[in-house]
Chain A
């Protein structure tokens, strides 16, 4: 069994300051981290691997961490290995520098096809930075496999996975056969930490493979971004309300405003 986890490195928001007046985001400290949704995806993959290993110990699943980006993403992939990935592949090419979700999904899907067989693709439902939430659906389309999106609970079953997913204001339980693309909602999973021993090995012993656009056999049309960045938009600042002394004052105010 092969599990591929697509991970993303993001600019750590703790190093950012937003100035609403000048409508600018200042980067005080340029530090990068593994996206929380990617970490949840890795944890889900590790849990599926543990369950599969328990039931079929002779042939434990392999987890491959896959990411797209510049050299610095190497750190995110090594951290992914500390979270349990057995190996890691970085898609690094100047052609990917301006990649939007379309290009990213094309490149990742091409890399997954190049690996050969796969049973499960796990991605974060929404990254903390752009948060477009498109990757899971786009990958499923590109790889022509079913998708279980926005999962809040995942259990391995003999036939595949049992998934509870968000669906509007409801939840739906799916019995999902493999192969499958699964996207996970990070908030639904208890955050964990990288394993310190594996983290040291990830830097001292293990390597990250690097594949270029040429390795993936991508055509020009596959790496042409469709999204264009026009400007940064800042939502209006929320004004603090007026604190009411008690319910009586609140009711009076609501009546005055003709709400009730």
Chain B
């Protein structure tokens, strides 16, 4: 057993940590107060290769795999979860869906520019009436000659207002619905008929732009279908499966920074004539935070290892997201408590961290959905199906190939089916 990161991954961590401290940290407060994404920082990250960390070199990436990508997310999350979300939506679900679902031509068309930061990506799944119930999407794609015409709306799209390229899930066959009737497309937002809504005013993550996006008589060439017609739901669910691991890494970074802030404050804050670090109540909080963070770190990097080594990882990915978000919330809550009234002040980073943390329990599949996914896997291991499968999708029907994901595609397609079942009321 080897718990050491490879030397190139250690070097990547040093690079990202330095970049996060020197470039991201000075931009955090302004981005939060003014609700403006720090795009100059994103461009600098792109210049040194950080927007292509997981993807192979042939597509302009660093070839550092899921482990490298988790390192990026942890280190960015440690300094600012807003920029981690912006870059995470760009790489982890936007570009990743193109990588997982696209054939070589589509990958070559889009990935080099996305890795180089010349274009920003987004991932459009959620709709006003399709959140956890993702299978009930309504955005319609109608075949017209050798194109599809998209009409409808997506909601809560991270990077919606700034994206140049977007993966969109739309219904191509309403009779089948998501069950074989949903298709994934990669589209360019400069094409006619696209409109982004206003920046959403969120509780936190102010530096991460979110909006609705509208498609009105929006024409997409048929070459821009990701994967196969009718199997878009699988591409989207696969993307989310991988995304959950790195989301766990970003929450790990957030939790770690909460602990660091708590330690730094407990060391200098004096009450009753001594630093509060000397109080057992504070020590217990710090110990609980440290223990949870250590457990999360092991889980996240072991799951990244599973992904990079072609092992099944669906259950563990759900755990990364579930535990990561809840541990981050608990840690930042304790950090605020340790800071006392100052933790409630906008002058302190823990206040921003507190607002930023909450969403991680909601987006990329609520924690309730994660629990269902994990439980379903657990029961499957003892031969119990929670619900019967109603969609038969096998791995060979998918044109998904290596993100070193050959084994996973099979697992994910089954999970895709489970999503349908879970949401099929």
Give the B-binding residues of A (Cβ under 8 A).
33, 75, 78-79, 82, 191, 193-197, 199-200, 202-204
Contacts and interface: CB of A to CB of B under 8 A. Distances in A.
B22 interface: yes
B14 A196 contact: no
B124 to A, nearest CB: 28
Contacts, number: 49
A203 B19 CA distance: 20
Q: Provide the main secondary structure of the chain A interface.
A: helix
A190 B12 CA distance: 21
B49 interface: yes
Nearest to A191: B22
Given A193-B48, A195-B49, 14 more contacts: A75-B7, A82-B11, A191-B22, A193-B19, A193-B44, A194-B15, A196-B53, A197-B49, A199-B8, A199-B12, A199-B15, A202-B11, A203-B7, A204-B63
B76 to A, nearest CB: 14
Contacts of A200: 8, 12, 57, 62-64
Contacts of B63: 200, 204
Max count, chain A CB within 10 A of own CB: residue among B15, B50, B63, B64: B15
B22 A196 contact: no
Contacts of B12: 196, 199-200
Contacts of A202: 8, 11
B49 A75 contact: no
Interface string B119-154: 000000000000000000000000000000000000
A196 B7 contact: no
A203 B15 contact: no
Contacts of A75: 7, 11
Contact of A79 (B11, B52, B53, B62): B11
B18 interface: yes
A207 to B, nearest CB: 13
The range of chain B's interface size is 20 to 34
Contact of B8 (A33, A191, A195, A203): A203
B35 to A, nearest CB: 27
Contacts of B15: 82, 193-194, 196, 199
B8 A196 contact: no
B204 to A, nearest CB: 28
Contact of B48 (A33, A191, A195): A195
Nearest to B23: A193
Contacts of A196: 12, 15, 48-50, 52-53, 62
B196 to A, nearest CB: 30
A200 B18 CA distance: 16
A260 B48 CA distance: 56
Contacts of B11: 75, 78-79, 82, 199, 202-203
A108 B50 CA distance: 34
B7 A197 contact: no
7 contacts: A75-B7, A193-B19, A194-B48, A195-B49, A196-B62, A200-B8, A202-B8
A115 B113 CA distance: 40
B15 to A, nearest CB: 5
Contacts of A194: 15, 48
Contacts of A195: 48-49
B344 to A, nearest CB: 28
A239 B44 CA distance: 41
A30 to B, nearest CB: 14
B102 to A, nearest CB: 22
Contacts of B8: 199-200, 202-204
Interface in B37-71: 44, 48-50, 52-53, 57, 62-64
Contacts of B48: 193-196
A204 B19 CA distance: 22
Contacts of B50: 196
A58 B73 CA distance: 41
Contacts of B18: 193
Nearest to A199: B11
Nearest to A78: B11
Nearest to A79: B11
B40 to A, nearest CB: 14
Max count, chain B CB within 10 A of own CB: residue among A33, A78, A199, A204: A199
Nearest to B14: A33
Contacts of B14: 33, 79
A75 to B, nearest CB: 7
Nearest to B60: A197
Contacts of A204: 8, 63
A197 B115 CA distance: 11
B53 to A, nearest CB: 7
B394 to A, nearest CB: 35
A196 B19 CA distance: 11
The 6 A-B residue pairs with the shortest CB-CB distance in the complex, in nearest-first order: A196-B49, A203-B8, A193-B48, A196-B48, A197-B49, A200-B62
A78 B10 CA distance: 12
A79 B11 CA distance: 8
B62 A197 contact: yes
Contacts of B6: 203
A154 B11 CA distance: 29
